Structure 1
């Protein structure tokens, strides 16, 4: 059973921006949940369907998500990991935390999207879009005002995903994030 069908364009809000949409189908909600400690083994063997410097970095991040989420020294960042599960198998993951600026101060209403990853055999199905839009809709309903994320410029698929799915996001290449491209999206 596929988690997502072909995505449709989101409607425009009164300001002319596309808004994240919440899940409306109950069968999809059952397949999206917060990560559990028991997901660690699946994270460690998460197959992204290829190898490159940025995919290797993503695989390393995914493998360590349970420890990252559970780090007691950064509890103020409210780290969260959401997974898509099909037939008991984790097929996609999104992790985010409160955005922290210099000095470590966390902003309650601003989030940093740490990683989005989909297993290689589930890519190009709309699953990444479903995951990210669902997480953003939940964050917006909880009062979150913005989300930021970074993409390596060589990761063309993720750059195009960010540009196509979130054309209203501000895209910059700030020197402090070199070589990454930064995206910021108002919710």
Structure 2
């Protein structure tokens, strides 16, 4: 049985580079391939943790926990951030799925040229599922291993929105 946990803590987004290289190597080994999109999704989560930190990006206290299990990888990125109403956002996303035309659209086609929620799109298109703490203090990205690079990444709203989950009091909703 393969199971390992690696925890990294650092202060300030500018100090992420050393940790980033360690995580990239861990993920490459776990996925048995270069899963670039998942790695970029992790980077986006770290960037958001710094950007929305109550301490500002240069002083953000960020914790990254990488869990490698038999069949999947989970990367949890945590930071004290400005509150985010994850359940409201989840409901807003799920409401989009009620419109068949919209649910068949690509994220970019739906939002146009706005950068709104671009980070969530990157993350959702690269994971099997993603869950956010109800207040937005952490995001956990999960993907199956080994990674099969021949499989296309889903990009339609109907395929990626259901992957957005919320953790409320330790329960995924």
For Structure 1 versus Structure 2, the TM-score category normalised by the shorter chain is 0.3 to 0.5
Give TM-score scaled by structure 2 length. 0.33
Quick one: higher RCO (CA 8 Å, sep 6+), 1 or 2? 2
Whose helix proportion is higher, 1 or 2?
Answer: 2
